[in-house]
């Protein structure tokens, strides 16, 4: 009993210290000047909140403008709503057109021009709103790891995440990635609940969250594939054992929400998805051509850059000790995955780590933001290799 109480006290103390740490690290960053051009782009795109929620003009020509399918609109709505509550709104795409007409390699030269279009003192507010999604991601991250791999793994994994400079820095910028990470981690929690209980409401919730992830960024669409993989795992790869009613309702909810909140699809239909994919591919290729030093044209160059970025350049422990602690834990986590045949960790590895990293075309820290937390889940799970008896919930027992 005393040991159980000690664990509880340690966990409570850690949660308090972790919360204080992350707010301390993030607090001062809200007031930093504009440094990431994408922040300006997302704020300018808040125009779509005005077009959808204030004017409710679903047939406007701007719904098929490049900016409408450059990214889905959910974060544009969030930022536009924040601007509106602060007493400001964009009435046209003029500011975004200005940004689009600046060559990629000329953003710094045109810094003052971009900043002049931003409402005064709005950056701290929009950053705080986006940070709230990052903080909620951290909460669900801890809950998930705690449930499946124990409190020690949860403490280690969360510690690695809150001390990672990529996570802290990008969580305090007005960009879409923290919102997407929230969708990913919350989705993972829903899937874990389904694996444990088998209740259909978690699968239905997974469909709804998939639609919001898709409305956040195009790569959020991967959650639909994860959802079906989880269904196959739970039903031992026999889909006929599942209730099709929930699948039909889930698909209907997914498409209804995706189309209702993105009028771009009302004008283009399913072909709109093809246009979105083609646009992103073209844009990434342009980035590669413009920033050749950061381009990753081959799988070998990606692998080398990814290992360096995640386990060496931004590793706090390596900077302090010279030992790539995160890399060692991750490799041990892969060993744990294989030895325990942990299907949840396998799902995380394939869909949330291997899939996004295999198509990474440019070596920018922003593209690692939604990958690193899942690397740390596998790393944290490795601690169970050293336990004589694993009393944590075995994911395979729920299947």
Over 60: is that where the pLDDT of 283 sits? yes
Q: What is the mean pLDDT of residues 251-271?
A: 92
What confidence tier does 220 reach under pLDDT thresholds 50, 70, 90? very high
The SS3 assignment for 390 reads coil
What is residue 214's predicted lDDT score, i.e. its pLDDT?
Answer: 97
Q: What is the mean pLDDT of residues 193-222?
A: 92
H or E segment to which residue 73 belongs: none
Q: Convert the pLDDT of each residue in 40-71 to its tens digit.
A: 999 999 999 999 999 999 999 999 998 888 89
341 in a structural domain: yes
Compute, in degrees rounded to 10, the torsion defined by CA atoms 237, 239, 242, 248: 140
CB 254 within 8 A of CB 208: yes
108 in a structural domain: no
Q: What is the mean pLDDT of residues 116-138?
A: 94
pTM reported for the whole predicted model: 0.93
241 in a structural domain: yes
Whole-number Å distance between alpha carbons of 195 and 203: 10
H or E segment to which residue 231 belongs: helix 222-234
What confidence tier does 388 reach under pLDDT thresholds 50, 70, 90? low
- Residue 282, Cβ neighbours under 10 Å: how many? 10
Whole-number Å distance between alpha carbons of 161 and 141: 10
List the helix and strand counts (H, then E) for the chain. 22, 0
Outline where 28-117 has alpha helix (H). Answer: 37-44, 47-49, 66-70, 74-85, 94-100, 111-116
What is residue 391's predicted lDDT score, i.e. its pLDDT?
Answer: 46
Biggest distance spanned by C-alpha atoms of the chain: 67
88 in a structural domain: no
What is residue 254's predicted lDDT score, i.e. its pLDDT?
Answer: 95
CB 354 within 8 A of CB 378: no
Q: Which of 160-169, 170-179, 311-320 has the lowest mean pLDDT?
A: 311-320
Whole-number Å distance between alpha carbons of 399 and 340: 14
78 in a structural domain: no
106 in a structural domain: no
Whole-number Å distance between alpha carbons of 395 and 186: 17
311 in a structural domain: yes
Structural domain count of the chain? 1
Q: Which domain holds residue 280?
A: 2-31+122-398
Q: Which of 21-35, 237-251, 301-315 has the lowest mean pLDDT?
A: 237-251
40 in a structural domain: no
Q: What is the mean pLDDT of residues 103-117?
A: 85
**Of residues 399 and 344, more confidently modeled:** 344
What is residue 237's predicted lDDT score, i.e. its pLDDT?
Answer: 66
């Amino acid at each position: 009993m005393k040991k159980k109480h000690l664990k509880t006290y340690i966990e409570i103390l850690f949660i308090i210290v972790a919360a204080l740490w992350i707010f301390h690290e993030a607090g001062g960053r809200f007031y930093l000047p504009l440094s990431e051009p994408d922040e300006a782009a997302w704020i300018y795109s808040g125009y779509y909140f005005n077009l959808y929620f204030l004017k409710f003009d679903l047939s406007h020509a701007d719904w098929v403008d490049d900016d409408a399918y450059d990214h889905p609109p959910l974060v544009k709505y969030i930022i536009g709503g924040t601007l509106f509550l602060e007493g400001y709104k964009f009435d046209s795409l003029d500011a975004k057109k200005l940004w689009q007409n600046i060559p990629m390699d000329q953003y710094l030269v045109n810094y003052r021009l971009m900043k002049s279009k931003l409402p005064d003192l709005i950056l701290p507010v929009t950053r705080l709103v986006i940070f709230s999604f990052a903080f909620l991601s951290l909460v669900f991250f801890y809950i998930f790891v705690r449930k499946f791999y124990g409190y020690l793994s949860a403490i280690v994994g969360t510690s690695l995440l809150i001390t990672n400079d990529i996570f802290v820095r990008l969580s305090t910028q007005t960009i879409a990635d923290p919102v997407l990470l929230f969708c990913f981690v919350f989705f993972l929690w829903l899937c874990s609940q389904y694996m444990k209980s088998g209740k259909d409401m978690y699968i239905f919730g997974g469909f709804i969250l998939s639609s919001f992830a898709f409305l956040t960024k195009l790569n959020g669409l991967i959650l639909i594939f994860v959802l079906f993989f989880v269904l196959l795992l739970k039903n031992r790869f026999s889909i006929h054992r599942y209730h099709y009613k929930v699948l039909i309702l889930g698909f209907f909810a997914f498409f209804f929400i995706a189309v209702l909140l993105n009028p771009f699809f009302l004008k283009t239909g399913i072909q709109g998805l093809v246009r979105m994919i083609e646009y992103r591919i073209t844009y990434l290729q342009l980035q590669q051509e413009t920033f050749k030093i950061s381009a990753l044209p081959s799988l070998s160059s990606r692998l080398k850059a990814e290992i360096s970025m995640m386990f060496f350049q931004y590793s706090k422990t390596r900077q302090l000790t010279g030992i790539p602690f995160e890399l060692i834990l991750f490799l041990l986590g892969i060993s744990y995955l294989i030895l325990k045949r942990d299907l949840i960790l396998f799902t995380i590895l394939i869909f949330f780590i291997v899939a996004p990293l295999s198509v990474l075309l440019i070596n920018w820290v922003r593209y690692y933001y939604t990958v690193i937390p899942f690397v740390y889940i596998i790393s944290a799970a490795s601690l169970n290799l050293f336990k004589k008896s694993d009393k944590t919930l075995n994911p395979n027992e729920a299947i």
